[in-house]
């Protein structure tokens, strides 16, 4: 069966979500609509729809003009098993003691490694992005130094892979949170698949703005793999929710943005103890004085 995609980009989450909702009312109607942030620090969001019939080009043009989006790119897709293709392409990713893998690759995890299972059909937080790898390697480095996180939080958890890594290596309390309800539902499913069940609480909340998070603070480790702008805004809350001597692992930071993030956090009492660059992305480890 031939299918079609229609993709565009525009600045800002709210306009992107509004455009996504408008696409759902098109005729022919899309079988699915996705809204994703472009992970390049540009502030752009991608909006895409999947169609069983070629979408109406005129209607798409009207939508792009109305929402200030780029012109839609319409593509025809051949009939294929896309999930199977993703599984073939998303091979296990090793980062320190951790191996992030799909269920189909569980047998490929070495016995001395910690396997973290993420379903291959889930597009974000699979471990293939440099920011996730940087966080896992930085967490592994803290553990090798003998640090123990007795109370940790994963802010902006996505699939929950970082929260699972903390739980797996320290066997202590960790809380996961994300502003997106779909992300938290995905994380909970991954926690169950990895045998953690309800031992890793997962809530929907922006940043630290939840009584659940405030009640669990102060944390001796916080991980936040977001983007540089939101991370800077989180600095005051990050500082007030981390215990003295506690650590933060931050990523989603382009190399050219790293210094500005460091300066903001230093102003809130969190000094850099390690920098890790993978490609265009930097992961920072900071310690609260």
Using pLDDT thresholds of 50, 70 and 90, give the confidence band for residue 181: confident
With cut-offs at 50, 70 and 90, classify the pLDDT of residue 258.
Answer: very high
Return the closest-CA partner of residue 222 out of 197, 200, 250: 250
Q: 14 burial class (0-12, 13-18, 19+ CB within 10 angstroms)?
A: exposed
Q: What pLDDT does residue 83 have? A: 52
pLDDT at 277: 96
Closest C-alpha among 91, 259, 289 to residue 277: 259
Percent of the chain with pLDDT over 90: 58
Phi-psi map region of 252: left, alpha, beta (phi>0 left; psi -120 to 50 alpha): left
Average pLDDT rounded to a whole number, residues 237-250: 97
Over residues 262-287, mean pLDDT: 96
CA atoms of 128 and 217, how far apart (whole Å):
31
CA distances from 128 to 58, 75, 131, 245, 249 (A): 37, 25, 9, 31, 18
SS3 164: helix
**pLDDT per residue over 71-93, tens digit each?**
999 988 766 554 555 555 557 88
């Amino acid at each position: 069966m031939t299918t079609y995609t229609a993709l565009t980009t525009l600045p800002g989450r709210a306009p992107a979500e509004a455009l996504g909702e408008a696409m759902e009312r098109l005729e022919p109607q899309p079988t699915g609509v996705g809204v994703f942030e472009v992970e390049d620090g540009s502030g752009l969001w991608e909006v895409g729809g999947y169609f069983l019939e070629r979408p109406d080009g005129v209607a798409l043009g009207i939508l792009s003009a109305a929402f200030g989006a780029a012109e839609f790119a319409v593509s025809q897709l051949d009939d294929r098993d896309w999930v199977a293709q993703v599984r073939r392409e998303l091979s296990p990713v090793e980062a320190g003691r951790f191996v992030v893998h799909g269920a189909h690759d569980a047998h490929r995890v070495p016995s001395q490694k910690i396997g973290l299972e993420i379903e291959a059909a889930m597009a974000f937080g699979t471990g293939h992005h440099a920011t996730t790898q940087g966080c896992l390697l930085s967490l592994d480095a803290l553990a090798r130094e003998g640090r123990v996180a007795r109370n940790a939080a994963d802010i902006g958890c996505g699939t929950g892979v970082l929260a699972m890594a903390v739980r797996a290596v320290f066997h202590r309390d960790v809380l996961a949170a994300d502003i997106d309800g779909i992300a938290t539902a995905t994380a909970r499913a991954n926690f169950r698949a990895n045998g953690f069940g309800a031992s890793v609480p997962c809530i929907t909340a922006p940043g630290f703005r939840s009584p659940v998070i405030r009640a669990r603070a102060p944390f001796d480790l916080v991980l936040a793999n977001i983007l540089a702008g939101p991370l800077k805004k989180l600095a005051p809350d990050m500082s007030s929710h981390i215990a003295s001597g506690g650590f933060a692992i931050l990523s989603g930071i382009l190399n050219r943005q790293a210094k500005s993030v460091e300066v903001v956090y230093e102003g809130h009492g969190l000094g850099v103890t390690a920098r890790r660059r993978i490609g265009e992305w930097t992961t920072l480890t900071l310690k609260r004085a």
